[in-house]
Structures are given as C-alpha cells and as structure tokens.
Amino acid sequence: MADEFSLRCYCFLDRMQAQYAAFVGTITQGDLPIEGMAALYVEMAPGNEVFRVVDIAVKATEARPGAQIVEREFGMFEVHSPNQAAVIEAGEVVLERLGLRVEDRIRPQVASTQVITRIDPYQAQLINRFRRGSMLVPGETLLVLECAPAAYINYACNEAEKKASIKLVHVSSVGRFGRMWLSGSEAEIQTAKNAAIQALESLAGREGA
C-alpha cells in the first residue's frame, strides 16, 4: 500500500480555537465541530482513496467526519471529537490499515508569506467579497500565508490563533496550496505569522511535491 498511496498531510489539532472552529462551521458539509474539540486532517493521493479511508476512521472510533473532499489531484478528510483520544485512535487505525507511519507524510513547506500594513479600503472591500470569516477593516494589517500540502494550513491557522489576538478572515485548504488570511494589529500579525511558521516547521516528514 505504501508504494501506491501518498500520505500528503497528517496533522492533529489538539484543541480547536474559537474563531477557527466557527469558521470551519461555515464551510463544512458534515458533522459540525465546536470550540475545544480535537481534529485530524489527512490529505492523500489518489483522491478517491478518501472514501475508503474515511469509512475506516469512523467505523473504528467515535470520531465524526466534518469534511470529505475529492478534487482534481488530491483527497482530504477531517474527523473531530470532544475526546482527543478518539481522534488520535482514528488516525492510528487509518495508518495501520494503510501500512504507514506518521513519518510517511509529506513535511509541510511554507510557500509564501505577505504582511500588508494599513490595508487600503478598496483592497479590503475586494477581499471581503470572498471571505467566509471576519470582515477585513481598512487600516488593519493583513497576513497572507501559503503552505503545501494544502491541508496543513488548518494546523497553522489554529496554532496562530492560540498565540495571537487576530481575526480569521478566510482559510482555503484544498488544492495544491493552502492559504489563510488573518487580520489585526501589526504586532499581533507578526506574532501570528511567527507562530504559524514555527508550527509548520515543527512537523516532521518526508520531502515531497
């Protein structure tokens, strides 16, 4: 199985933060998570494998699926529970069935970061048309961070919210790259940026595309 299956992302969120959990609730088509729950994100190739893997995870534990997505290249799923042990067990069962280890995941890479101070009113209006989270207010500082594989952006965003007083504007975690938009004061955005990068760099794995 390890020769045929690519484990692109495997990341555990120990405690969903308030804004992050609220944002996920606006986009999920499955079971709704709430603040404080633990979550596991897994991204894989080929994408159609996600259906079988989700079935393995939810049959084995009390963890509930919030997302099951297949796009052109990859598949991704998320499971969550108030019980951290259940989420950890779901991940362990999936890895065991696939004959893989956590270390077989692709190590996340920061693709780009931008910090834009004193955001212009017109730029704020454009971004607000596409966001699903908080409104971006003119004059705030905006952080745009991209990483690959895409699903790791969820971990980066949740960890950034733990460390900084920011507003979550939008998160996109499907495709070749994951992206997040956070806003706030310049000092808090710098703290959030550092926390997100440190979180991603802390995850071990193999090199991959």
Q: Average pLDDT over the chain, rounded to whole?
A: 94
Per the CB < 8 A criterion, the answer to whether 139 and 169 are in contact is no
What is the reported pLDDT for 5? 79
- Asked if pLDDT for residue 3 goes beyond 70, the answer is no
What pLDDT, on a 0 to 100 scale, did the predictor assign at position 54?
92
Whole-number Å distance between alpha carbons of 141 and 192: 11
Structure tokens at 171: 């998160």
Q: Determine the pLDDT at residue 208.
A: 81
- Over residues 112-156, the pLDDT tens digits come to 999 999 999 999 999 999 999 999 999 999 999 999 999 999 999
Q: Is the pLDDT of residue 1 over 60?
A: no
Query: Could you state, in order of their start, the residue ranges of all structural domains in the chain?
Result: 6-104, 109-201
Question: Would the CATH topology of 6-104 be identical to that of 109-201?
Answer: yes
Per-residue pLDDT tens over the stretch 10-69: 999 999 999 999 999 999 989 999 999 999 999 999 888 899 999 999 998 999 999 999
Residue pLDDT, tens place only, 173-206:
998 999 999 999 999 999 999 999 999 999 999 9
Q: What is the pLDDT of residue 209?
A: 64
Q: Is 206 left (phi over 0), alpha (psi -120 to 50) or beta?
A: beta
Yes or no: is domain 6-104 CATH 3.30.70.1710? Answer: yes
Task: Report d(CA 34, CA 31) in Å as an integer.
Answer: 10
Task: Please check the confidence at residue 171 and state whether its pLDDT lies above 80.
Answer: yes
- Containing 81, the helix (H) or strand (E) segment is strand 75-81
Percentage with pLDDT > 70 across the chain: 98
For 23-74, list the strands marked E by DSSP.
38-45, 64-70
What is the topology classification, in CATH, of domain 109-201? Answer: Alpha-Beta Plaits (3.30.70)
| Nearest to 27, CA basis, from 157, 174, 203 | 174
The residues facing 41 across adjacent strands are: 11, 78
pLDDT digits (tens, 9 = 90+) for 99-110: 999 999 999 999
Query: What per-residue confidence (pLDDT) applies to 71?
Result: 86
